[in-house]
Structure 1
Amino acid sequence: MSGSVTQRQIARTVLIERGIARLAELRNAGVTAATMSRMERDGEVLRLARGLYQLPDAELDTNHSLAETAKRVPKAVVCLVSALAFHGLTDQLPRHVWLAIGRKDWAPKLDGTPIRIVRFTDSLLNDGVEIHVVEGVPVKVFGVAKTIADCFRHRSKIGLSVAIEGLQEALRQRKATPSDIVNQAERGGVGTVIRPYLEALTVNG
């Protein structure tokens, strides 16, 4: 039994466990880059982007692009339209993954999934973060109330109509209370912006 066979088995085990693995993780498990390129050539693994692999028959979650991005930029938090879509609050399928990073963080250059970077202050970046596991990968996503507040804060980037739709859906699906939303809006400095919409929606609702 040759060494490359066992390396392939190791690679498969790592990919079954993690869903998506970076070359560094596979190397740590004892798999060489040469083995990975042979496996890719033989159709045993998919190369998602440089140094990022997945099994071809892996169940692709609708949030696959979030898992792929989180694997490459683990510090970033999924935000704005991507977070709305994740929470089921918009019909839009974002063409990019919207990611929040710190003011001084290095902006990642990625091949593969297109991303849009939004810089947040540390206090806003660390507030209202939830961790969801997608395809075995822990993904940081802002919670519903925080996402709505952020959408109003960045309405010039994503469009006011998207922010209002998110707010409507969050209330309709009871995924956040008006007081949660106001609380996050105040912290993000958009309390006065969001209040009239919130009042209109809660009166009619």
Structure 2
Amino acid sequence: MENTYQRILDFAHTHALIRPSDLAAQGLPRVALTRLVRRGQLIRISRGLYARPDRPVSEHGALAETARKYPHAIVCLLSALRFHDLTTQSPFEVWLAIPNKARAPRIDYPPLRIIRFSGAALTEGVEVHQIDGVPVRITNVARTVADCFKYRNKIGLEVALEALHESWREKRVSMDELWHYASLCRVANVMRPYMESLP
């Protein structure tokens, strides 16, 4: 059994966050997770998610935990702004984009704010970033700014404007990228006056 425990700990070391289904795929017994938690060699992060107690966790750890459970969901809006360091807001929820007809993810922690997208609005402008050893899908800077204007009634126009000005000032977006995503998100008319006033 000790050999099995060591294999699981090695797997947890290389994959950062593990799920019971990961063990099944490796031919390892799921029940060993509970025993390793009792022994203090693993910790239970949330339901169905485990890690070594000594794993390094960044400030975006909640995004990694969410992505490990829901790898197809896309981090968007306030959570994407925070990741790109384009806002002073610090959202307590993880904002996730999912397909229109998909079932909403349910987890105990972190709390989620679900936004539904379809077609190109779901797939365009999405990047994959490694966070705490986990691949996380996140909307890129220009797409995030356009999304903020689209959902300005949910997050506030001042947040969208802050994101636009910061991303432009730091030269992290081009006018072409902004126009592209403004058109994709159908907010070109809303964004035009603000974009035209950029220095």
TM-score range, shorter chain: over 0.9
The amino acid that maps onto 2:32 is: T
Per-residue deviation, 1:62: 1.4
Q: Are residue 133 (structure 1) and residue 143 (structure 2) matched?
A: no
Could you say which residue in structure 2 is the equivalent of 1:12? 9
1:37 aligns with 2:34: yes
Partners of 2:105 and 2:61 lie apart in 1 by: 19
**SS across alignment from 2:40:** coil
Q: Secondary structure at the match of 2:18?
A: strand
Question: If the length of structure 1 is used for normalisation, what is the TM-score?
Answer: 0.93
1:75 equivalent in structure 2: 72
Q: What SS class does the counterpart of residue 138 from structure 1 fall into? A: strand
Q: Distance in 1 between matches of 2:177 and 2:59?
A: 27
User: Given the alignment of the two structures, is residue 100 of structure 1 paired with residue 106 of structure 2, yes or no?
Assistant: no
1:115 maps to what in 2?
112
The percent identity for this pair of structures is 41
For residue 180 of structure 1, what is the aligned residue in structure 2?
A: 177
Q: CA deviation at 1:24?
A: 0.7
Structure 1 counterpart SS, 2:106: coil
Instruction: Work out whether residues 79 and 98 of structure 1, in 8 Å CA contact, stay in contact via their aligned partners in 2.
Output: yes
Q: Deviations over 1:46-85 (max 9, x none)?
A: 1111111111110101111111101111111100000111
CA-CA distance at 1:33 after TM superposition: 2.6
Q: CA deviation at 1:170?
A: 0.4
Aligned-CA RMSD value: 1.1
Which residue of 2 is the match for residue 46 of structure 1?
43
Does residue 22 (structure 1) correspond to residue 19 (structure 2)? The answer is yes
Gaps of 5+ in 2: none
In the alignment, the residues of structure 1 paired with residue 125 and residue 93 of structure 2 have an alpha-carbon distance, to the nearest angstrom, of: 22
Matched-pair contact (CA < 8 Å) for 1:103–1:122: no
Query: Are 1:90 and 1:165, in contact at CA under 8 Å, matched by a contact in 2?
Result: yes
Q: Is contact 1:83–1:142 with CA below 8 Å preserved after alignment?
A: yes
TM (norm. structure 2) is 0.96
Report the Cα offset of residue 161 of structure 1: 1.0
Question: In structure 2, what is the Cα distance between the partners aligned to 1:76 and 1:34?
Answer: 28
Aligned length: 199
Structure 1 runs (4+) deviating above 3 angstroms are none
Task: Give the structure 2 partner of residue 157 of structure 1.
Answer: 154
Deviation at 1:16, TM superposition (A): 1.0
| Partner Cα distance (2:4, 2:157) in 1 | 52
Structure-1 separation of matches of 2:182 and 2:68: 30
The Cα offsets for residues 3-59 of structure 1, whole Å up to 9 and x where unpaired, read as 2x1121111111111111111102322332321111112221111111111111101
> Are residue 84 (structure 1) and residue 92 (structure 2) matched?
no
Moved more, 26-35 or 187-196: 26-35
The 2-side partners of 1:87 and 1:183 are apart by 19
- Rounded to whole Å, the distance in 2 between the matches of 1:7 and 1:122 is 44
